[in-house]
Structure 1
Amino acid sequence: MSLHTRISEDSQEIINYIHLGTFIPVLSEFKKYIMSDLKAYDAKVIFLEKKLEAQFGEMTENIIGMTLIFGDSDDILYFGFFNVYDHKKEHIEFLLNALIDFGKSNNFQKIRGPINIPTVIYGWGFMVEGSKKDLFIGCPINPPIYQKIFKKKGFKILFKEDRYDMPSLKLNPHKVKKLIELGINEGDYQNNFFDTGNYPYQFMTLGKDEITPKIFDEVLLLYSKYMPPSGQITPKKAQNGKNIINFIEEFGAKWMMWFVREKKTGKLVANGYAIPNVFDKNEKEELNSMGFQSWVVHPNHRRNYLSILMYGFVITQAKDRKTPHYIKRGLWPVGAENIANANAAKKMGGKKSKSHLILQLLIS
């Protein structure tokens, strides 16, 4: 028996074996998203193979592990789906050495990951020991041996994200005192729930008329300028954004992505989205849960209760029997360093259930 690695650029071969690198199922409906990202990122795979002696003395190759590799700049090599079947230390080390050697031989300055494209489905990060291992969209599962071995090889923690399991509490924006004081009820909200009256902002959900090249560019600009670096883990934001929109429209509901414009200027000042958890459905095939994946507010507008407005309008639709799906719970991602957001999650009944790490190696 001997170990060796092999690099493949064959997208179909990668799809055939990508299940090795994740505990999240590779459903047939997901394959078009995977194929799209493999092409967009020009991804390759490093397979870990073991030679086995078969009957009659013949040698056969057996793929026992893999890691996806791709770049988005001249200096960063990203990896994802890093996993070996048996989680043996020597097998993990062998594959990791191959990853590092590839980074060095191709003149990358940093190796960063795991980023499991498409992240809308497979997420990113190594799961921290003690995390809840229930199946949830975008939350990869792995034993803690991986990050321990990576750290011994010199990888440092670049970012840690905690996820809070939240009950979907109803919140009607038209009953919030601060929003009422700002004029939200000075309109026709009794006939049009989303009428914000004299409140200076307009709330909109995903619709065919909303995703134009203009608004798509506005959203990307908002995220690139005002999200912290920890919130911009995934490279190729435009490709990632398209996948998110398509995934929400196919598996979720249009209210799972929203936009807020300032009425006076028409400028986009806030945006957010939730990812449908396709692995948690009721007997009617309706979603029970979703991940409040991200939202961003322009810093000049952060004291106008836009977070309350967005959550209230979204959760009202999530709890409305007349709309698709009926959400009972959600996961709220919070950067481990963001104490204020963590406290807010706890006040709303959230309990920390999962944590993930992004690791990075500086290549000397």
Structure 2
Amino acid sequence: MSLTPVLIGLGATVPPRVVDNEELSQRLGTDDHWIRTRTGITQRHWAGPKTATGDLAVTAAQRALRSAGGGRVDMLILATSTPDHPMPATAPDVAARLGLGPIAAFDISVACAGFVYALASAAGAIAAGIAERVLVIGADIWSTRLNPQDRNTAVIFGDGAGAAVLRAGEPGEPGALTGFDLGGDGALKDLALVPGGGSRQRSDPDGTGEADDYLTMRGKEIFTHAVHRMGESSAQLLKKVGWSASDVDWVAGHQANVRILHTVADLLEVDRARVLIHLDRVGNTSAASIPLALTDAAADGRLASGDRVLMTSFGGGLSWGSAALTWPPIQVSEVLV
């Protein structure tokens, strides 16, 4: 029997600075009502000038390790699209700062689908016998890559980090991740893109403007693809693991837009009341959004041991992924916001 990844610890963090809709409205010529009705977001947290993605990742990881009761870690996987440096990867530095020793540590960049992809990567490492305990982190600081005059992106994104500790276990035990569904379509990469900063920009003499370092996003098209792909991926995964819509206790979807989350729930015929919503207080935190939502729900008691949780995500790439989890009896103390 193949070893199965089992969730044993969870932790998350957001920067202390709160940026509410009113603050952005004054600069962008919009208002709180416009932002809330289109996104469901009322505020977001942005990192200060001396805070990097790795800093948030370390804090979230420390909390997850504490939630897991300590112990060794054999591998660290960091999902981020806003690393501390283009090179080297941020994960080895995070592992060193956590005092984990010379373990395998690497970044993956799958935008907002990163946490689910990282969980799947950890599952593969555990099943292959490469690692017995894996620390998975989703962390992003997008506030540094947003055009301050672009209301299509500036009102949406927040900064944060979430982490999970997985150990090798058996398929039927609480905390077991029972299945995954992953996909992508690179032909649509231009729908969400940071043009600058990579080798493509340096090979293109026209790609030299400062704005090239900002995130560009075609929101209406992203909305359509997110609903379709998250819904389809979730349905395929439910079929794979043998769950019906009525078996799902909670949907932990990528926290991009409340209308996307509700529409996906409707497609799956899952009650909207069973959708975890955290974006109203933190915005779209990219790879951190699902672990942030899970941490918040676990800390306030909504998630109970034995609950069946469907995680589903969508991000630039385009990329998407879903995972099924039976919730474990873990302690999460930090109520974020």
**Normalising by structure 1, what TM-score?**
0.23
Greater per-residue helix proportion: 2
Higher relative contact order, chain-length normalized (CA < 8 Å, sep 6+): 2
**Normalising by structure 2, what TM-score?**
0.24
